[in-house]
Structures are given as C-alpha cells and as structure tokens.
Amino acid sequence: MDRALIVSGSEKAMETIAQFLHTYGYTNLTSTTSGSEARRLTNSMEYSLIIVNTPLTDEFGNELSIQLAENTSSGIILLCKADIADDVSDKVGDFGVCVVSRPMNKALLHQSIRLVEATRSRMLGLKRENSKLMVKIDEMRMINRAKFALMQYLGLPEPEAHRYIEKQAMDTRSTRKDVAQRILAMYENQ
C-alpha cells in the first residue's frame, strides 16, 4: 500500500493514528514529532498521505501543512482542536489541506482520508496530462522555429515551410519533431 507520514507532538496520538491507518491498509508508516524532521523526510521520500496532528514539538503545524501541500503531491490532513478548527481551516484550506477537528471521530477521519486520496489521485492525473501538454508545446515551438529558419534562409512562405516539414516527415518516415531538429541543426548554427 501507499506510504503515510504521521507528524504529531503527542506519542499517544501518533500510536492511535498509526493503528487507525493500519486498519485501512496503510502498512508503510513513518512518524516524527517535529516539523523540521517532517520537512527533511519529505525531501527524501514521497508519501501519499501526511497527517499532521497539532501542536508539534517545534511549531504549531499549519505552516508545515502549507509547505508540504505546496512542495509535495501528498494528501495532507491537519488535526487540531475543535475550537480553532475553523480558523486553521481558513488559513490552510486554499492550499488543499483537509482540516479535521479533535476529538477525532473515526468515521469522519476515514471519510477525510478517502477524500484526500481521491483528490490526490485526480491531481496526479492532471499533472500527467499537464506534462504531456508541455511536451507537445515544446514540440510545436521547435517545429515553428524550424519553419522560421526555412522562411529566413530559404525564403519560403509560411505555408510552404509547413508543407516542407510535413513532406519530409512523410518521406523519411520520421516525426515532424525529428525533421525540425535536423533543420535547426543545419540552419541555426549559421
């Protein structure tokens, strides 16, 4: 199953959360009591779920949650006292941190975990799609640079430069990107 990180200033709460996560299939658990250690751990390891139980030994935990939400693709749940949960939620909600008030209702925590998992899954799908689009954009930029080189050095109008690249790709059974790379290698060094 996926990795989970528990950050809690209370050892007893840490054990309770760990037992709860074990019952829902999280067997690869890491735990720490400080925000600075959590930051170090997340720099070297990817976690699918991070639960921050406030307050921590070196900070409250809302800044940690925001930083983890911005710098990782982990789902973040922040546990805090019920009387401050709304204020904390106002501070961290825009960053995608799910706030659950204590004392914990196990059903609510379970529901929050499933919601965070679903949100994380969707976010990772969007990241993959974004990466594919960025590759496509880079390819289009390269092809456009090659067209510009053909227009500049051979005096071709844009439609003919485009047709030249398309025809070369068909004739050589290669991609338009490969043709553009060859054109750029030939003309950009001049």
In a domain, 63, yes or no: yes
pLDDT digits (tens, 9 = 90+) for 118-149: 999 999 999 999 999 999 999 999 999 999 99
* Final residue before a domain boundary, out of 70, 104, 138: 104
User: Are 24 and 79 in the same domain?
Assistant: yes
In a domain, 141, yes or no: yes
Q: pTM of this prediction?
A: 0.76
103-110 contacts, C-beta under 8 A, 24 or more apart: 104/16, 104/79, 106/20, 109/20, 109/77, 110/24
Q: State the Cα–Cα distance between residues 169 and 186, nearest whole angstrom.
A: 16
Q: State the Cα–Cα distance between residues 89 and 73, nearest whole angstrom.
A: 19
User: Are 75 and 163 in the same domain?
Assistant: no
User: Are 9 and 81 in the same domain?
Assistant: yes
Q: Which domain covers residue 73, as residue numbers?
A: 3-104
Neighbours of 106 (CB within 10 A): 10
Low-confidence ranges of the chain (pLDDT < 70): 1, 190
Q: How confident is the model at residue 17, as a pLDDT?
A: 94
User: Are 12 and 100 in the same domain?
Assistant: yes
Which CATH number belongs to the domain containing residue 56 in this structure?
3.40.50.2300
Which CATH number belongs to the domain containing residue 161 in this structure?
1.10.10.10
User: Are 44 and 94 in the same domain?
Assistant: yes
Q: How confident is the model at residue 139, as a pLDDT?
A: 97
In a domain, 110, yes or no: no
Q: How confident is the model at residue 60, as a pLDDT?
A: 96
User: Are 135 and 176 in the same domain?
Assistant: yes
Mapped onto helix, strand or coil, the DSSP state of residue 118 is helix
Q: How confident is the model at residue 27, as a pLDDT?
A: 86
Q: How confident is the model at residue 136, as a pLDDT?
A: 96
DSSP class of 13: H
Q: How confident is the model at residue 190, as a pLDDT?
A: 64
Exposure on the CB side of residue 124, measured as CA atoms within 13 A: 13
In a domain, 181, yes or no: yes
User: E strand or H helix at 129, and its extent?
Assistant: helix 106-154
User: Are 90 and 134 in the same domain?
Assistant: no
